[in-house]
Structure 1
Amino acid sequence: MLSTYSRVAVSAVRAVAVIAFFSAQIAHAEGDIERGRVLADTCKGCHAVDSYNNVYPTYHVPRIGGQSADYLIEALKLYRDGKRDHQTMTAQAASYDDQEIADIAAYLTSVVPPLEAAQPVGTAPDAATTCKACHGETGIGQISIYPYLAGQHKDYLLQALYDYKNGARQGVNATVMQANIMALSDAELDVIAEYYSRQDGLSAVPMD
């Protein structure tokens, strides 16, 4: 008989296949790194300061140096279109068209070497069984629409998990995320965030 984690993992794999198919249909404009460099100056005010905190609720501003370009594009469009709630990010993204968003993402992914899956730091907790189907053993998945988690601030990851669980976070991945973590306790979410935060990966955006 399959354990609870195994049953959820099977469901997750099926869901991943569906989302991967539809994600493959998402076409983005090709970004221009140099134009993105200029546009991303405002991003650095927060994302280049590794200790910078969101005001409320209080958590670290995410590390996006090395993040997947497709995920960054998806996130910025959600902010711009009012489908992901964050006052500052919505205001920043409101004036960007699709090409400018692609330019910003191209620049942000160029400022650090591409992330590669390394040996895991520690052992992944059982609660992360479903996470690995999309995000990989160490938080660097193979499908670019899924965000890299490796090295992300723990408190940011935990806030994201809470937001998915209570339905506050929307987007192409939201339904699957909510289904996969709905039965997890706060303690289990905490160990998931702790594990991925300890992996080698994301960084603050370097200042030029």
Structure 2
Amino acid sequence: MKKLLQISLALAAASGAAAAQAQDVKAGEKKIAMCIGCHGIPGYQASFPEIHKVPMIAGQNAKYIVAALQGYAKGDRRHPTMRSISASLSEQDMADIAAFYAQQAQLPAAPESVPAAPANVAELLTKGACVSCHGANFSKPIDPTYPKIAGQHADYLTVALKSYKVEKNANVGRNNGVMQGQVKQFSNAELKAIAAYIGSLPSELATVPQSKLRH
């Protein structure tokens, strides 16, 4: 457990340094035209690599959004659409967009205590040391470059978790030493059970409806 935390903090420090940019919410609002077609439609579903709801990003940690966008741009996160979009953004664009989405939802803070997981899922969460990085309520990660995941769409969480198991695929998969090591312990059915529980928790995340026809 101690070694896992040391690795996690080291990765977080590196990501945080890369994400250090002044953020401008107003500027970010003007740069999200490529985002709202998916992230601005409640319940919108993607079909790649399988059908799932696109993640809620309003209310997410700004530094995590930047880290995710950087990951797509560099190819550490492999997804053709997201890589194309992210590669077109400057570091300042990423920082501004992240700042906008971080404040967009304005939801109450998630409660410190959340409903207990079923016994079988609690065992899986302990095995994966999930709270060590994402917090006891899964809305307070130990570093802001890690995501809030409580209440996130369960089908998206399942797809995201499975992506850490994918190797040698140019269009699918994610590179992260900690997550890859943890996720490979579990079957896809176990990952789905973990995602279902986490997705059922009180959340600080939302999808805020937005129209492409903005003035």
TM-score by length of 2: 0.82
Code of the residue aligned with 1:18 in structure 2: it is: A
CA contact (8 A) 2:137 2:150 kept: yes
Instruction: State the SS of the aligned residue for 1:125.
Output: helix
CA contact (8 A) 2:9 2:143 kept: no
Instruction: Pick from 117, 124, 132 the counterpart of residue 127 of structure 1.
Output: 124
CA contact (8 A) 2:40 2:208 kept: yes
Aligned-partner Cα distance in 1 for 2:22–2:107: 17
Q: Deviations over 1:54-90 (max 9, x none)?
A: 1222111111111111111011122223332222212
TM-score by length of 1: 0.85
CA pair 197-107 structure 1, distance change in 2 beyond 3 A: same
Q: Which residue number corresponds to residue 208 of structure 2? A: 205
CA pair 149-106 structure 1, distance change in 2 beyond 3 A: same
Percent identity between matched residues is 33
Instruction: State the SS of the aligned residue for 1:189.
Output: helix
How far apart are residue 198 of structure 1 and its match?
0.6
How far apart are residue 114 of structure 1 and its match?
6.3
Aligned-partner Cα distance in 2 for 1:88–1:166: 18
Q: Deviations over 1:105-145 (max 9, x none)?
A: 01111112266341313326221121110011221113111
Structure 2 unaligned regions, length at least 5: none
Instruction: State the SS of the aligned residue for 2:30.
Output: helix
Aligned-partner Cα distance in 1 for 2:178–2:22: 28
CA pair 69-115 structure 1, distance change in 2 beyond 3 A: farther
Give the length in aligned residue pairs: 198
Aligned-partner Cα distance in 1 for 2:72–2:51: 19
Q: Which residue number corresponds to residue 93 of structure 2? A: 100
Q: Which residue number corresponds to residue 169 of structure 1? A: 173
CA pair 41-190 structure 1, distance change in 2 beyond 3 A: same
Do structure 1's residue 110 and structure 2's residue 114 form an aligned pair? no
Q: Deviations over 1:124-172 (max 9, x none)?
A: 622112111001122111311111101111111011111112345335x
Q: Which residue number corresponds to residue 84 of structure 1? A: 77
Instruction: State the SS of the aligned residue for 1:41.
Output: coil
Code of the residue aligned with 1:207 in structure 2: it is: Q
Q: Which residue number corresponds to residue 6 of structure 1? A: none
Instruction: Pick from 63, 68, 73 the counterpart of residue 75 of structure 1.
Output: 68
CA pair 121-53 structure 1, distance change in 2 beyond 3 A: same
CA pair 121-156 structure 1, distance change in 2 beyond 3 A: same
Q: Which residue number corresponds to residue 197 of structure 2? A: 195
Instruction: State the SS of the aligned residue for 1:42.
Output: coil
CA pair 74-115 structure 1, distance change in 2 beyond 3 A: farther
Code of the residue aligned with 1:62 in structure 2: it is: P
Aligned-partner Cα distance in 1 for 2:36–2:154: 20
Q: Which residue number corresponds to residue 153 of structure 2? A: 153
Code of the residue aligned with 1:122 in structure 2: it is: A
Structure 1 unaligned regions, length at least 5: 1-8
Code of the residue aligned with 1:170 in structure 2: it is: R
Q: RMSD value over aligned CA atoms?
A: 2.1
Aligned-partner Cα distance in 2 for 1:82–1:22: 17
